[in-house]
């Protein structure tokens, strides 16, 4: 059935328009003033007084992630439902193969795991070891499976991390295939020796988590990643940037014309390392990598968001339950790393970015969907309100006040790192592929679709 949204203020990355939107067959069919529609077979939404945003794209989530402490708290169903509630309609998760699996085998299994997602979804694929046939596998992923972003970890060296020489080889292969490399930048060996030292000194509480992976270990890795990418001629995207020091290297590379994209997350904009002071149960939820930094890092990141050094906001959504976090109550290195946030990305960025005057509503769209769509190859299917694009639309009530809490969030975790945060502005109606999936507390569930990506 067609869907007509009337009287909304449409916000795109590149401009604002007061108009109606007609959706047909999952796509935006027409945009115009006072669209006349005679047929009874239509659903209508009056969006008077509301903003309409393109559905959010979270470029960095980990649903149903296997760890030593069991799976992360949200699977694709619960995580995508939380995402939709917050205005995000597309998720980009990760394929992390077992050591003996090819990238293709692991991707096929991961696509199956995501079948219960209510959001549309795509993946970044992680080579977790170097082997001589990897360039062929990468080329196949790009040309046949049509996934073209490959994530490597400079940390987690004992499991999925690669060393610099291996990363250079991956970058060369990805550049040749026409893809992009994403990097988790922290110098893994330095972290390992710092952790060993802290354990030997019996410094085992969560307050030592940020001590074990300081800002310079991220920044050094960022610099190294940029240098390796320059050598390989490979575009890169640095995930979850958390420090001022890293931004200096990123900005320099960008101004030299190198293709270096950067993402940060709401936690690195809004929280700081004071969160690690307290009793275990109160602070263990903040154990994530990279760790929370200083207030001056928050400020530098906001400035980078405002000026465009950072192009995307992901959440790194990877929540655990308290009982899982408690596995590390006697040793912080055993606490599973990660926190949730997929539901709150847009409301937090709107409340603490747009309403404080740090960014405009158009920048808000750039940061929450448009830039991710462009950088990751989902444009023009996603990321904008235009005829022919997917009808993923958020009718945004600018006046709605809420307080984030474990009691009202949709994640399956019993921890929320934003507990108590006040927000203003949230989705009244969420439309995905032309279907109303959420309106005033009522849900209609439709399966999400796997998204291939386009050449950049």
**Which residues 6+ apart lie within 8 Å of 324 measured at CB?**
69, 70, 73, 336
Phi, psi angle pair for 194, to nearest 5°: -65, -40
Say if residues 402 and 347 touch (Cβ distance below 8 Å). yes
318 near ligand URP (CB under 6 A): yes
SS3 at position 265: coil
Q: Which is nearer to ligand URP, 162 or 288 (CB)?
A: 288
Q: Which is nearer to Zn ion, 212 or 351 (CB)?
A: 212
- Find the shortest distance in angstroms from Cβ 448 to ligand URP: 21
Which x/- pattern over 137-156 shows residues binding Zn ion (rule: CB under 5 A)? --------------------
Query: 85 is in the binding site of which of ligand URP, Zn ion, none (Cβ under 5 to 8 A by kind)?
Result: none
The b/e string for 215-253 (b: 16+ C-beta within 10 A; e otherwise) is bebbbbbbbbbbebbbebebbbbbbbbbbbbbbbbbbeb
**Of residues 188, 208, 205, 219, the one with CA closest to residue 297:** 219
Cα separation, 260 vs 271, whole angstroms: 25
Q: Which is nearer to ligand URP, 62 or 81 (CB)?
A: 62
What is the distance between the terminal CA atoms of the chain, rounded to a whole angstrom?
33
Per CB under 6 A, the list member of 148, 184, 195, 345 interacting with ligand URP is: 184
Query: 151 is in the binding site of which of Zn ion, ligand URP, none (Cβ under 5 to 8 A by kind)?
Result: none
Per CB under 5 A, the list member of 184, 293, 344, 409 interacting with Zn ion is: 184
- Find the shortest distance in angstroms from Cβ 97 to Zn ion: 16
Phi, psi angle pair for 74, to nearest 5°: -105, 130
Which x/- pattern over 270-299 shows residues binding ligand URP (rule: CB under 6 A)? ------------------xx----------
Cα separation, 105 vs 264, whole angstroms: 30
Query: 344 is in the binding site of which of ligand URP, Zn ion, none (Cβ under 5 to 8 A by kind)?
Result: none
Site size toward ligand URP (CB under 6 A) is 8
**Can you tell me which residue has the tokens 């669209």?**
35
Cα separation, 246 vs 221, whole angstroms: 9
By CB under 6 A, the residues from 70 to 89 that bind ligand URP are none
Site size toward Zn ion (CB under 5 A) is 2
Which x/- pattern over 299-328 shows residues binding Zn ion (rule: CB under 5 A)? -----------------x------------
Question: How many CB atoms sit inside 10 A of residue 310's CB?
Answer: 25
Cα separation, 422 vs 135, whole angstroms: 48
Nearest residue by C-beta to ligand URP? 337
Say if residues 384 and 395 touch (Cβ distance below 8 Å). no
Q: Which is nearer to ligand URP, 81 or 184 (CB)?
A: 184
62 near ligand URP (CB under 6 A): yes
351 near ligand URP (CB under 6 A): no
**Of residues 140, 40, 91, 144, the one with CA closest to residue 343:** 91
- Find the shortest distance in angstroms from Cβ 215 to ligand URP: 16
Cα separation, 223 vs 185, whole angstroms: 9
Q: Which is nearer to ligand URP, 28 or 106 (CB)?
A: 106
> Which residues of the shown chain bind ligand URP in the complex (CB under 6 A)?
62, 184, 288-289, 316, 318, 337-338
């Amino acid at each position: 059935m067609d869907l007509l949204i009337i009287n909304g203020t449409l916000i795109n990355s590149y401009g604002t328009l007061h108009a109606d939107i007609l959706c047909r067959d999952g796509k935006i069919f027409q945009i115009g003033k006072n669209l006349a529609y005679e047929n009874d077979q239509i659903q209508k939404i009056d969006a008077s007084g509301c903003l309409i945003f393109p559905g959010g794209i979270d470029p960095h989530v980990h649903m149903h992630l296997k760890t030593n402490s069991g799976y992360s708290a949200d699977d694709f169903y619960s995580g995508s439902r939380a995402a939709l509630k917050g205005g995000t309609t597309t998720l980009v998760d990760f394929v992390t193969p077992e050591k003996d699996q090819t990238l293709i085998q692991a991707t096929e299994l991961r696509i199956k795991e995501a079948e219960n997602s209510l959001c549309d979804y795509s993946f970044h694929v992680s080579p977790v070891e170097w082997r001589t046939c990897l360039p062929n596998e990468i080329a196949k992923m790009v040309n046949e499976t049509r996934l073209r972003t490959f994530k490597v970890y400079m940390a987690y060296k004992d499991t999925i991390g690669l060393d610099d020489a291996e990363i250079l080889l991956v970058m060369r292969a990805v550049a040749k295939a026409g893809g992009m490399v994403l990097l988790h930048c922290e110098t893994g060996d330095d972290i390992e020796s710092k952790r060993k030292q802290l354990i030997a000194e019996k410094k085992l509480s969560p307050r030592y988590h940020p001590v074990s992976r300081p800002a310079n270990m991220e920044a050094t890795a960022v610099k190294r990643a940029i240098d390796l990418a320059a050598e390989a001629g490979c575009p890169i995207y640095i995930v979850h940037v958390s420090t001022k020091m890293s931004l200096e290297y990123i900005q320099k590379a960008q101004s030299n014309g190198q293709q270096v994209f950067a993402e940060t997350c709401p936690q690195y904009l809004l929280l700081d390392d004071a969160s690690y002071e307290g009793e275990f149960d109160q602070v263990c939820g903040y154990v994530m990598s990279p760790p929370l930094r200083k207030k001056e890092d928050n400020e530098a990141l906001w400035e980078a968001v405002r000026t465009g050094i950072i192009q995307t906001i992901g959440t790194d959504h990877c929540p655990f339950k308290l009982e899982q976090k408690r596995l590390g109550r006697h040793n912080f290195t055993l606490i599973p790393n990660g926190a949730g946030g997929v539901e709150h990305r847009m409301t937090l960025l709107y409340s603490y970015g747009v309403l404080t005057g740090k960014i405009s509503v158009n920048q808000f769209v750039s940061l929450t969907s448009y830039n991710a769509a462009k950088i990751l190859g989902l444009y023009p299917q996603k990321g904008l309100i235009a005829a022919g694009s997917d009808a993923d639309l958020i009718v945004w009530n600018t006046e709605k006040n809420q307080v984030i809490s474990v009691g009202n969030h949709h994640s399956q975790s019993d921890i929320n790192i934003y507990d108590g945060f006040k927000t203003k502005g949230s989705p009244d109606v969420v439309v995905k592929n032309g279907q109303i999936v959420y309106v005033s507390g009522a849900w209609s569930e439709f399966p999400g679709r796997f998204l291939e990506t386009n050449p950049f």
